[in-house]
Amino acid sequence: MIDVVFVIMLFFMVMAGAVKVENELNTTLPGSTESSSATDFVDEIIISISESGEVALNDEPLDVPDSRDLPRLRDTLMRLKQNADNAKTPAVVTIVSDPNAKYSRTVDVLDVLAFAKIETVTFSVSDE
């Protein structure tokens, strides 16, 4: 019986050393802070790719499925990038692709974004 008590006591002594104290964890909790200046929210540009390959910018159709160069999209994105650079805000683009759209069409859009030097790009799939 004494052996069992010593084994249990040894177990608890070993485990007590493995417990971390909360003060040791470097955790920053969310809270409210005072801001000295207004916060600017970035306008998000949404490029939609339909199943047929049509490309739309913020729900405005721009280029037809046959066009691989996407000239209207390229020109529009160049203007938007220039405006974002002048305003010193990042140009944020989200590509919303139909699940049945061809992957090559998404690559065409990515090529145009690279040409316009837009680096902040996210992807989404339409729910329709």
Number of neighbours of residue 108 by Cβ within 10 angstroms? 20
Whether 63 is in a domain gets the answer yes
pTM: 0.63
Range of the domain at 89: 44-125
Report the alpha-carbon distance of residue 122 to residue 102 in Å, rounded.
18
Of the candidates 65, 50, 46, 40, the one whose C-alpha atom is nearest the C-alpha of residue 121 is 46
Instruction: Indicate the burial class of 13 (C-beta count within 10 angstroms; 0-12, 13-18, 19 or more).
Output: exposed
The domain tally of the chain equals 1
Whether 52 is in a domain gets the answer yes
CATH number at residue 118: 3.30.420.270
Whether 73 is in a domain gets the answer yes
Instruction: Indicate the burial class of 94 (C-beta count within 10 angstroms; 0-12, 13-18, 19 or more).
Output: middle
- The pLDDT tens digits of the residues spanning 87-119 come to 888 888 899 988 888 888 888 888 998 898 888
Whether 15 is in a domain gets the answer no
- The pLDDT tens digits of the residues spanning 15-60 come to 777 666 555 556 666 666 666 665 565 678 899 888 888 898 888 8
Whether 90 is in a domain gets the answer yes
